[in-house]
Each structure stands twice: as C-alpha cells, then as structure tokens.
C-alpha cells in the first residue's frame, strides 16, 4: 500500500498504517483537520498554528483527548 495525494502538494490524504490505512481530511490550505483509521470514528486533529505540527487528537463523539505530543527543540 502506498500513500495517496489529493493534489501536487506533499499533503497525503491516505496513508498506510500497521493494521490498515488512515484517511486524512484537510482544510483548504492543506492543514490536517480530521483523520480516520479503518472503520474507527474520526478524530479532530489539533495543530500548531505557526508551524502546522500536529499536537493532539480529540475524539469526535466524546471530546476526550486521545493522543498528544509535545515538542521542545531547545531542551
């Protein structure tokens, strides 16, 4: 399985995972907004507004934090 792209940018819309594939839905400027793995419900993706780094995933039905990341380049 290979990644699929919706246009000529480097913003994948379908990416392979260990168990199946993930769909990534993006805003018009290319920032990731929602992802979905297999048949699981989608997750809202929280990104850094300055760099576009993905920081967290929030459940779309529960509103609970499902995943998070922290980046501290100067430590």
pLDDT at 10 over 60: yes
pLDDT at 71 over 70: no
Which range among 2-11, 51-60, 64-73 shows the weakest confidence by mean pLDDT? 2-11
In the structure encoding, which two tokens stand for residue 72, read together? 């501290």
Q: Give residue-wise pLDDT tens across range 20-49.
A: 788 888 888 878 888 888 788 888 888 877
**DSSP result, 35-69:** EEETTSPPEEEEE-TTT--EEEEEETTT--EEEE-
Whether the full predicted model's pTM is greater than 0.85, yes or no, is no
């Amino acid at each position: 399985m290979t990644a699929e792209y919706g246009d000529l940018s480097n913003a994948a819309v379908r990416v392979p995972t260990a168990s199946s594939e993930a769909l990534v839905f993006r805003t018009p400027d290319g920032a990731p907004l929602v992802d979905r793995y297999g048949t699981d419900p989608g997750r809202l993706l929280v990104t850094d507004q300055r760099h576009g780094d993905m920081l967290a995933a929030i459940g779309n039905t529960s509103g609970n934090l499902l995943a998070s990341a922290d980046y501290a380049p100067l430590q």
